[in-house]
């Protein structure tokens, strides 16, 4: 059933208010120092003054004018930021106040607001086991609010997850280098090759979303569990310590595999949970990147 329009707008408004404050209080200026432009671009020609680098002299203009002129360059500041957001069935899950889909919308909004404050443009790819929607990069707050609305409105999908197909789509449509935030619970397999290809062209950052109940089962006796993506039902005896231990081991192993893969591909990550705020995790990523940039 589609999400109620009034409820959708209420959620969008709440996320806008909360994330705008977080950007102003915690992330202002940090984004700019972490995500720089892709090089330098020509700005103007001006007369030479003592102390200018002679290598910047524009000899054609100098010859025409009869005295030295130099080329002035500036940083090519504008970036394209793409949010690839998983909207498969498992994203609807949340054992507390927020679902993973809502958290995905919140972190996308936070990062997108940081981007537009620096005059960058933001785009969106929503995917499940197919491309659900693609929004071309645009500038401005309106683009950010549309991004949030689209993520929340897709909350009811019940399809599986195909990260490989999502990156094949991105690599085909996004020719210019971009900063790509992959926001997903990573309940998928067989996508490492496409992810590696994307990393050669783009600056990919993973945002794995998890919920505490996906990591450890409660002692609730005999319960029926439904796979939110396939619809399959499973009867589980959560009162059994052995069942809970097996579930915990499997969940921990899946997390280890994801962490190992991201390290292998040298992909930065922002781990996100439905159970706690994430702004400190975003700031930790920014600080790591700042330190790395200073070291060269």
270: its two tokens? 């922002």
Mark whether 65 and 151 lie in a shared domain. no
Number of structural domains the chain divides into: 2
**Per-residue pLDDT at 73:** 61
* Domain of residue 45, residue span: 40-75
Mark whether 111 and 64 lie in a shared domain. no
Has residue 205 been placed in a domain?
Answer: yes
Has residue 229 been placed in a domain?
Answer: no
CB-based contact 92:101 (threshold 8 Å): yes
Mark whether 183 and 110 lie in a shared domain. yes
Mark whether 66 and 108 lie in a shared domain. no
The values of phi and psi at residue 109, to 5°, are: -65, -45
Has residue 68 been placed in a domain?
Answer: yes
Q: What is the pTM of this model?
A: 0.80
Q: Look at strands 179-184 and 80-86 and give their pairing.
A: parallel
**Per-residue pLDDT at 1:** 42
**Per-residue pLDDT at 92:** 86
Quote the CA–CA distance of 257 and 261 in Å, as a whole number: 6
Mark whether 196 and 62 lie in a shared domain. no
Quote the CA–CA distance of 57 and 94 in Å, as a whole number: 61
**Per-residue pLDDT at 245:** 93
Mark whether 17 and 70 lie in a shared domain. no
Has residue 235 been placed in a domain?
Answer: no
**Per-residue pLDDT at 3:** 57
DSSP-derived secondary structure letter, 54: G
Mark whether 135 and 65 lie in a shared domain. no
Per-residue pLDDT of the chain (296 residues; tens, 9 = 90+): 455 667 767 777 777 777 887 787 777 667 777 776 554 455 578 888 887 887 888 888 889 889 998 887 655 557 899 999 999 988 888 888 889 999 999 999 999 988 888 889 999 999 999 999 999 999 988 998 898 888 888 855 567 899 999 999 999 999 889 999 999 999 999 999 999 999 999 999 999 999 998 888 888 888 888 777 777 888 888 888 999 999 999 999 999 999 999 999 999 999 999 999 888 899 888 888 888 877 76
């Amino acid at each position: 059933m589609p999400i109620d329009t009034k409820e959708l707008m209420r959620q969008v408004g709440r996320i806008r208010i909360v994330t705008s404050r977080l950007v102003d209080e915690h992330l202002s200026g940090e984004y700019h120092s972490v995500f720089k432009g892709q090089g330098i671009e020509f700005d103007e020609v001006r007369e030479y003054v003592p102390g200018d680098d002679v290598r910047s002299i524009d000899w054609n203009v100098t010859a025409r004018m009869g005295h030295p002129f130099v080329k002035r360059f500036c940083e090519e500041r504008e970036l394209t930021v793409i949010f690839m957001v998983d909207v498969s069935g498992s994203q609807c899950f949340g054992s507390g106040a927020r679902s993973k889909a809502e958290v995905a919308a919140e972190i996308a909004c936070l990062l997108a607001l940081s981007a537009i404050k620096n005059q960058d443009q933001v785009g969106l790819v929503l995917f499940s086991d197919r491309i659900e929607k693609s929004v071309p990069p645009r500038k401005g707050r309106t683009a950010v609010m549309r991004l949030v609305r689209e993520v929340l409105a897709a909350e009811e999908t019940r399809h599986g997850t195909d990260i490989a197909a999502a990156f094949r789509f991105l690599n085909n449509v996004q020719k210019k280098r971009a900063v790509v935030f992959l926001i997903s619970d990573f309940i998928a397999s067989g996508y490492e090759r496409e992810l590696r290809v994307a990393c050669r062209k783009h600056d990919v950052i993973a945002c794995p979303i998890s919920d505490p109940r996906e990591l450890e089962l409660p002692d609730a006796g005999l319960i029926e569990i439904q796979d939110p993506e396939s619809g399959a039902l499973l009867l589980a005896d959560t009162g059994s310590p052995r069942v809970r231990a097996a579930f915990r081991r499997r969940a921990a192993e899946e997390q280890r595999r994801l962490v190992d893969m991201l390290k292998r591909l040298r992909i930065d990550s922002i781990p996100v949970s439905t159970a706690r705020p994430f702004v400190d995790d975003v700031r930790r990523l920014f600080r790591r990147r700042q330190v790395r940039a200073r070291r060269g």
